[in-house]
Structure 1
Amino acid sequence: MNTPRKLFLHAPGIHVGGGLTLLQALYSAADSCVDFEQLDTRAAHLIPPSSAERHLIRPSLFSRLAAEFRLQQRVAKGDVVLCFNGLVPLFRCQGEITVFLQNRLLISTARLHNYSLRARLRLTVERFLIKNLAHRVNKFIVQSPSMAEQTRAHLGPNANIVICPYIANSRRSAVVTDRERRFDFVYVASADPHKNHQALLRGWSQLAEQGIRPSLALTLSLDSPLAAQLSDLKERWGLNVSNLGPLTPTEVGSLYAQARALIYPSFTESLGLPLIEASRAGLPIIAAELDYVRDIVDPVETFDPHSPTSIARAVKRHLGIVSSPQAIFGPEVFLREVLQ
């Protein structure tokens, strides 16, 4: 008699952001078939109890290695391991390995100079591991066509890649009148460098210099350096920007109901959950002209995410503010300027 195959969920490091949202959505699905789970201890209170055998992993090297060893010892032939953290197990397992690749930085060669030294070291090691251990993986699951294309280019044509995006089942939102909307724009994102708040805030400063001050809601950690920088810019330019701090999924849904549009300047995303959430909430989207955006939504305006001027111009177009292009003169005017 054959022993029934088990599903092992391995999710160290998943405790904030889109990864946590997707993990919570997975647990919200009825009749979960997970038999064995390893979760980050920082997310334990955010994940509902289940019938699976649960182990908690602390954010330490020893705890992570112990979890990897436990996985190797417990997985039998025919079992399925779902690596929710996007990494391949360090120790070879007998079962079938499925990696849910939800961090585009892991398959990118882009420089990491904007990240802290600790983050650069971690991402460099993780990039090395996924590149060199990819042959152990039976299946990579990604969330968009552009992510699949980049993964195949990075890992080679033999990688088995499946596109299967998902988010939590949407709930019906209450009808909100335009008068009840507090913010012209909202950007739901952490303070990570690739989220590109710097260009966004420079664009908002350019608008303020022109006497245009649309309201903007951000969700930055209150103790982040970026939050302190925002306070300085608000004082200097009188920006109409509110930092609400990190929000729960329910609070994010309420925020969309208070906004008139989503702005999304991120340089890179594997999916971009706020794009889908805002679209389902009926918000117009002003976003970077990048593949990951076009994979999942049709923005009403786009911009060059590297250019604060382009961001400011897209905002003005959306607000219906007409800007005249630079006038072009003849050589006579140029000479007159020289001789004045």
Structure 2
Amino acid sequence: MIIYAPNIHTGGGMVLLQALIDAWPSDEQCIAFIDDRIRGKVDLPAVWAVQYCSPSIIGRLKAERALKKLSGQNETVFCFHNLPPVLQVRGKIICYLHNLNLIGLVPSSHLSGWIKFRILMERSIAYLFRKRIDLYLVQTPTMRRALRTWYKGDISPRIEIAPFIDPDHLSASSPGLSAKQWDFIYVSDGTAHKNHKRLFAAWKLLAEEGLRPSLAVTLPARDDALVAHMKAIKAEHNLDIVNLGHVEHGAILDNYHKAGALIFASYAESFGIPLLEAKTAELPIIAAELDFVRDVCEPSQTFDPFSERSIARAVKRHLALPTDIVNPLAPSDFIKFLRNV
């Protein structure tokens, strides 16, 4: 087998790659193309013949040429980087699709700058060479439906639902008597579909009602523009929001026990690992009323992720606070209202 995993170096993709590394049989050899940015940071199996891929256009082209040369008629090529090979390779091609951006679940108008350019290029590669894939593996029924819609053509691709995660990844230390530090925690980076700005706008609406629930977020340093936005709206409206920055996995799991609930503002996910983590930690989940959420958990409250008011109302329901529900008048009372208005 050849594992082809360039550009997998962070986030959920890295969590899953680490799970494969840890579970790999000690007697099963393979060739592995690994992103150079994790060189020296991960202990790779001794039975892997590793080729590191530079995260540049030239580096990726070199990796593609090496993949073409090493592939064989009876070989299985496992494309873990979400894309088909750019160059024609021999053997059975399996693509593990766990990036929803590549099949258009996040509109391009929600992206910007270099990220938008890169995603549009990758979408083109994914679509132009999609028929090279013999088998797609996805994590949820929602992703399978989206992939079928995106694929088009007369022939539907073979798609199997095959989620996996290391059970130890979901295991946190015992909550013990840990005091709650925050009402809510949102574990996520700051990519556009994670919806932080609308979440912060919901906190602003709550503050306008005199409500200031505490919220912890985990925005890394690379999301400096979003962090600056958070600080500005926090200062202007005296919001109780703290950014924990990048948090290592073990500490994230412990932090779940310091929060009253997970609030998950994202409007598109291929899997949603924090939902699984929170479910394992028996933490209440407030999330979007979308299929990908209910693929993996039963949230305690849901909202429209495109409405900050809907998010604010879900927060109030979770906190058992009254919401602004309209109570219609009886016709006779309405007539009295008209007389006195």
Tell me the TM-score range normalised by the shorter chain: over 0.9
Match of residue 127 from structure 2: 131
Distance 1:300 1:91, change over 3 A: same
**Partner Cα separation in structure 1 for residue 174 and residue 166 of structure 2:** 20
Superposed counterparts of 1:1-340, under 5 Å: 7-31=1-25, 33=28, 35-51=30-46, 52-108=48-104, 110-156=106-152, 157-170=155-168, 172-177=171-176, 180-223=179-222, 224-328=224-328, 330=334, 333=337, 336-337=340-341
Provide the aligned length of Structure 1 versus Structure 2.
331
Deviations 1:101-134 (A, max 9, x none): 0011111265312322222222112112211211
Q: State the secondary structure of the residue aligned to 2:246.
A: coil
Task: Give, in whole Å, the separation in 2 of the partners of 1:172 and 1:24.
Answer: 15
How big is each residue's C-alpha offset from its partner over 1:125-168, in whole Å with a ceiling of 9 and x where there is no partner?
Answer: 21122112111111100000110111112114520101011112
Say if 1:9 and 1:34, in contact at 8 Å, map to a contact too: no
Q: What one-letter code is carried by the residue in structure 2 that aligns with 1:53?
A: A
CA distance in 2, matches of 1:173, 1:62: 41
CA distance in 2, matches of 1:207, 1:260: 17
Q: Which moved more, 1:218-227 or 1:321-330?
A: 321-330
Deviations 1:158-188 (A, max 9, x none): 2010101111223653332565221111111
Separation of aligned partners in 1, 2:257 and 2:178: 11
SS, match of residue 73 in structure 1: helix
User: Which amino acid in 2 is paired with 1:199?
Assistant: R
CA distance in 2, matches of 1:300, 1:314: 9
Could you say if the C-alpha distance between residues 59 and 173 of structure 1 is closer, same or farther in structure 2, counting changes exceeding 3 Å?
A: closer
Deviations 1:218-273 (A, max 9, x none): 11023521101111111111111111112222121111121121111111000101
TM-score with structure 2 setting the length: 0.92
Separation in structure 2 between the aligned mates of residue 31 and residue 249 of structure 1, nearest angstrom? 24
- Cα deviation code 1:284-327 (max 9, x no counterpart): 11100001001110001000000000000001100111224235
Structure 2 unmatched runs, 5+: none
Give the match for residue 4 of structure 1.
Answer: none
Retained in 1: the 8 A contact 2:173–2:253? no
The offset of 1:217, in angstroms, is 1.0
Identical pairs, percent: 36
Question: Residue 71 of structure 1 aligns to a residue in which SS?
Answer: helix
- Confirm or deny: 8 A CA contact 2:135 2:157 kept in the other structure: yes
Matched position secondary structure for 1:201? helix
Q: 1:177 to 1:332 in 2, by over 3 A?
A: farther
Instruction: Please say which of residues 108-117 and 270-279 is displaced more in the overlay.
Output: 108-117
Structure 2 Cα separation of the partners of residues 281 and 53 of structure 1: 37
Matched residue of 1:260: which SS?
A: strand
Structure 1, 107-116 or 241-250: larger mean CA deviation:
107-116
Take 1:251 and 1:177, find their aligned partners in 2: how far apart are those partners?
Answer: 15
Structure 1: runs of 5 or more not aligned: 1-6
Provide the C-alpha distance between the structure 2 equivalents of 1:53 and 1:334, rounded to a whole number of angstroms: 82
The alignment partner of 1:174 has SS state of coil
| TM-score, with structure 1 as normaliser | 0.92
Which amino acid in structure 2 is aligned with residue 242 of structure 1?
Answer: V
Residues 172 and 198 of structure 1, relative CA distance in 2, 3 Å threshold: closer
